[in-house]
Amino acid sequence: MRFDKIIANGTVVNADKTQQADVAIRGEKIAAVGKNLAAKAKASGNGVQIINAKGCYVIPGGVDVHVHLALPFCGTTSSDDYDSGTKAAARGGVTTVIDFAIPYGKDTLQKAVVNWHAKSDGIACVDYAYHIAITNWQRQKQELPKMIDQGITTFKQFMIYAAEGWQSDDADMFQALEALKDLNGMLMVHAESSRVLDELIDRRHNPKDMKKYGAYLHTMTRPNFIEAEAIQRAVQWAEATGGKLYVVHMSTGDGADIIKNARDRGAKNVFAETCAQYLVLDDSLFAKKDGHLYATCPQLKKPSDQARLWKGIKRGEVCAISTDTCSFTRKQKAMWKGDWTKIPMGMPGLETLLPIVYTHGVLANRLSLKQFVDKCCYTPAKIMGLGHRKGAVKKGMDADIAIIHPKKKIKVDWRKMETNADWSPFQGWDLAGFSRTTLCRGNVIVDDYKFCGKNGWGQFLPRKSPGRI
Ligand code: URP
Ligand code: ZN
Ligand code: ZN
């Protein structure tokens, strides 16, 4: 068979296996993985392009299943859009992103999908799919089958964000889980307990406390039980209905305990992800100068939560690591003017997902190489219904690949990054695991750590089901 490109001499790492092998690509697909493919192709003289990966790991492109690009939120719009956001993804070795299409005001789900296609089509540099947020169950429930027909099989409900007009209540969640069970969809939930959270915020929302504690109030008003109680409730509804539940951006050890207990008693329809920032950053940052920059929702927690989440990743109750990328510039973050409830919430993350998990997971002996690939590439693809084409370096899969050097560290500096955020939560950190070469569907989009792809290469990925793990 004629090949177009061969990635030669690398160590191919999949979630189930590590091997010394070449990877041959034809068009947009992986055509073969095996020994000496480059030597054989050169001997037959057919002008194949050789990409040398000697001394490097050849891993599947990262699959970040939780991003917000150009999201209108907190009175502004998140700064990374489908241009800068997907360039950042590529440079970080992420070749698939899944964003949340969110209806505004009285919008239908269909209107949200149209809006999100307008933001992404012809612009994205890596492949993309959407989840869709159900912001008004009664009005939007009849649209679910139509969404699934368009390849959107995963839905999100928020247990908070009444001010954004996004909040769902228990009855909405219960009914969505029931309906999605019948339709073979999956419900993703932002789990925070809104009534108690609002009460805790009210108690502190006064000039004296704001002056005294500043951005640290973000953490003071969101103790762990705010997330834990909400996860517990969502899990209860999932167990009662049998609907598939995926808890997004889980930030607490308490949450990991609840998911583990549920799965141990047989609730295999319950899943949870965490995000890279919850594994390496803690809430002491809010007390520092510029601490407000780190405000995200849910907020960073304690080192003990980090340790519990790493354990959950290794053991299985945390099935995927995403970023919840929702970038805001310093100017946007400055909108808080000393009131923590007005900080645009979220941070950049796409460019540093694989480097953070590789450096602080694999190099810190918390995860094996295969587990790293499992949590950042294979399982996220699989659980979101993309496992037939993404998340593995195997024959027949999309040629989505990141080549990473095992040790070479790069100092994080937002000035040299593709994100348009003018700060980074990891500024000055030395991280290995940046992608030297990224391929998306066979096309080289990062070469020598620099983005070289083009707008519009990324394709929308319709899905048939949420998949299984
Ligand atoms: O603060 C965050 N995470 N912003 C994005 C919206 C969400 O809740 O995921
Ligand atoms: Zn959320
Ligand atoms: Zn999010």
Element spanning 77, H or E? strand 76-77
Mean pLDDT of the chain: 97
For the CA of 345, the closest atom of ligand 1 is: 1
Whether residue 292 has its Cβ less than 6 Å from ligand 1: no
What secondary structure does DSSP assign to 305-371, as a single string?
Answer: HHHHHHHHHHHSSS-EEE--B----HHHHGGGTT-GGGSPP-B--GGGHHHHHIIIIITTTSS-HHH
Which residue among 219, 297, 300 is best mutated to probe the pocket of ligand 1, counting the most ligand atoms within 8 A of its Cβ?
A: 297
* Ligand nearest the Cα atom of residue 131: 3
Average pLDDT over residues 188-208: 98
For the CA of 66, the closest atom of ligand 1 is: 9
Which residue among 158, 277, 296, 300 is best mutated to probe the pocket of ligand 1, counting the most ligand atoms within 8 A of its Cβ?
A: 296
Indicate if the pLDDT at residue 46 is higher than 80: no
- Cα separation of 95 and 392, whole Å? 12
Give me the pLDDT at residue 394, please. 98
pLDDT, one tens digit per residue, over 304-314 is: 999 999 999 99
Give me the pLDDT at residue 216, please. 97
For the CA of 295, the closest atom of ligand 1 is: 1
Give me the pLDDT at residue 242, please. 98
What residue's CA is closest to ligand 1, atom 8?
Answer: 297
pLDDT, one tens digit per residue, over 343-374 is: 999 999 999 999 999 999 999 999 999 999 99
What residue's CA is closest to ligand 1, atom 7?
Answer: 297
Whether residue 69 has its Cβ less than 6 Å from ligand 1: no
Q: How confident is the model at residue 84 (pLDDT cuts 50, 70, 90)?
A: very high
For the CA of 100, the closest atom of ligand 1 is: 9
Whether residue 30 has its Cβ less than 6 Å from ligand 1: no
pLDDT, one tens digit per residue, over 232-277 is: 999 999 999 999 999 999 999 999 999 999 999 999 999 999 999 9
Q: Which of 310, 299, 309 is nearest to 216 (CA)?
A: 299
Which residue among 299, 324, 342 is best mutated to probe the pocket of ligand 1, counting the most ligand atoms within 8 A of its Cβ?
A: 324
Q: Is the pTM of this model over 0.85?
A: yes
Indicate if the pLDDT at residue 467 is higher than 90: no
Whether residue 361 has its Cβ less than 6 Å from ligand 1: no
Give me the pLDDT at residue 1, please. 81
Give me the pLDDT at residue 435, please. 98
pLDDT above 70 covers a percentage of the chain that reads 100
Q: Which protein residues have a CB closer than 5 Å to ligand 2 (ion)?
A: 190
- Ligand 3 center to residue 189 CA distance, Å? 10
Cis peptide before 425 (omega within 30 of 0): no
Average pLDDT over residues 311-327: 98
Indicate if the pLDDT at residue 468 is higher than 90: no
pLDDT, one tens digit per residue, over 202-231 is: 999 999 999 999 999 999 999 999 999 999
Whether residue 218 has its Cβ less than 6 Å from ligand 1: no
Task: Decide the pairing of beta strands 270-275 and 320-322.
Answer: parallel
- Cα separation of 39 and 102, whole Å? 50
- Ligand 1 center to residue 324 CA distance, Å? 6
- Cα separation of 64 and 337, whole Å? 32
Taking CA atoms, 64 is separated from 223, 318, 322, 353, in Å, by 27, 15, 5, 8
Amino acid letter, residue 47: G
For the CA of 296, the closest atom of ligand 1 is: 1
Give me the pLDDT at residue 195, please. 97
* Ligand nearest the Cα atom of residue 164: 1
Structure tokens belonging to residue 129? 């799919």
